[in-house]
Amino acid sequence: MEFLKRLFNKEPRIEKVDVEKRFQLLTRVGQGSMSKVWKATDPRNNDLVAVKVLDRAKLARLQQRFVGLDKPSEGQIASVLNHPNVARTISHGITTNNEEFLVMEFIEGDSMSYLVETQNARMKENCIWYCIQLGEGLNYLHTNDWIHRDLCPRNIVVTKDDLVKIIDFGLMVPNTPEFRRPGNRTGTANYMAPELILRQPTDQRIDIFSYAVTCYEMYTGELPWPAADTMESVLHHVNQPPEDIRQYLPDLDEQIANAIMTGLEKKPDDRWRTVQRMVNEFREAGDRLYPDQ
Ligand SMILES: Nc1ncnc2c1ncn2[C@@H]1O[C@H](COP(=O)(O)OP(=O)(O)OP(=O)(O)O)[C@@H](O)[C@H]1O
């Protein structure tokens, strides 16, 4: 009977993994809101990897927001991504404690949050190139029909060689009508597009907005609206215009300033139609301002 059950069971049997035995866990590198992440080595090839184990209870709460939708898991999504500006996921599975886990390339570097906060010389010199790389990564996700939904400095790492990598795909969804329906307010408050906050229909342009907020912060160290921790405070300023970036940086190149401010438009139709268009503006400006780089 067991044999017949297994034969006709359509779900592939997933072998559970004891990550502590399978990998050599070296140090904890991050406490995300949804997971624990370890720097580890894979004894099968000695590769340095990041092992991300998702918190079961928190994941269950997140999944409740997608009830009735066929949302692929973070591991399923992340494993099909392949772009220099997107963290590579090597494998994924279920631990012996029934937690989802991902094994990723280990990215040694600084969080973009750190660079935004410190506004050090490295950040200032490379800002345009970081904005371009980030846009290329996001454009890759969009042309492959995904909506990231949580683009912000916390989810970006910059390597020692100044390569920008998007690292977190926990809220990413397919760009299909069912996932564009209004209602689901997941994301990070300060980076959420007005249509998402107001529970209107959404599309990939919510990511263009988050990208523009992120680039604004990368340039200035400030948010375009007063920082808001709660949805109530975000709702409060959703009707206020953003602070013009030139208030912080009067000498900022016009094309760069316009690229960012257009991405922050309240109405999605007034924003860049695609990430690629916004990136093209940055690229043109970069080539004009720094022809030798
Ligand atoms: N591939 C990686 N290489 C190196 N460090 C990583 C990698 N992936 C994640 N980290 C580290 O772990 C932290 C948490 O990761 P991540 O953002 O993916 O988790 P999360 O639980 O989804 O977090 P949150 O929802 O708060 O953004 C990151 O801020 C980073 O410091």
Domains with residue ranges and CATH for the chain? 2-105 (3.30.200.20), 109-289 (1.10.510.10)
Structural contact between residues 147 and 172, judged by C-beta atoms closer than 8 angstroms: yes
- The CB density around residue 215, as the number of other CB atoms within 10 Å, is 25
Ligand 1 atom 12, closest CA: 30
Q: Which of 259, 151, 257 is nearest to 207 (CA)?
A: 151
Element of type H or E holding 30: strand 24-31
pLDDT per residue, tens digit, the chain (293 aa), is 455 555 455 555 678 999 999 999 999 997 778 999 999 999 999 999 999 999 999 999 988 888 888 889 999 999 999 999 999 999 999 999 999 999 999 999 999 999 999 999 999 999 999 999 999 999 999 999 999 999 999 999 999 999 999 999 999 999 999 999 887 778 888 999 999 999 999 999 999 999 999 999 999 999 999 888 777 778 877 888 999 999 999 999 999 999 999 999 999 999 999 999 999 999 999 999 998 88
3-state SS string over 40-60? EEECCCCEEEEEEEECHHHHH
The identity of residue 26, as a single letter, is: L
pLDDT recorded at residue 272: 98
* Cβ 148 under 6 angstroms from ligand 1: no
Paired residues of 103 in beta bridges: 51, 91
* Distance of CA 249 from the midpoint of ligand 1 (Å): 31
pLDDT recorded at residue 235: 81
Element of type H or E holding 166: strand 164-166
The residue whose CB lies within 8 Å of the most ligand 1 atoms, and thus the one to mutate among 100, 116, 168, is 168
The residue whose CB lies within 8 Å of the most ligand 1 atoms, and thus the one to mutate among 25, 26, 27, 29, is 29
* Cβ 87 under 6 angstroms from ligand 1: yes
pLDDT recorded at residue 8: 53
pLDDT recorded at residue 113: 97
pLDDT recorded at residue 175: 96
Residue 16 marked as a ligand binder:
no
The residue whose CB lies within 8 Å of the most ligand 1 atoms, and thus the one to mutate among 23, 27, 28, 35, is 35
* Cβ 164 under 6 angstroms from ligand 1: no
Residue 4's Cβ-side half-sphere holds a number of Cα atoms within 13 Å equal to: 1
pLDDT recorded at residue 48: 97
pLDDT recorded at residue 67: 83
* Cβ 168 under 6 angstroms from ligand 1: yes
pLDDT recorded at residue 31: 74
H helices of 144-202, where?
177-180, 194-197
pLDDT recorded at residue 157: 98
* Residue position matching structure tokens 């990136």: 279
* Distance of CA 133 from the midpoint of ligand 1 (Å): 19
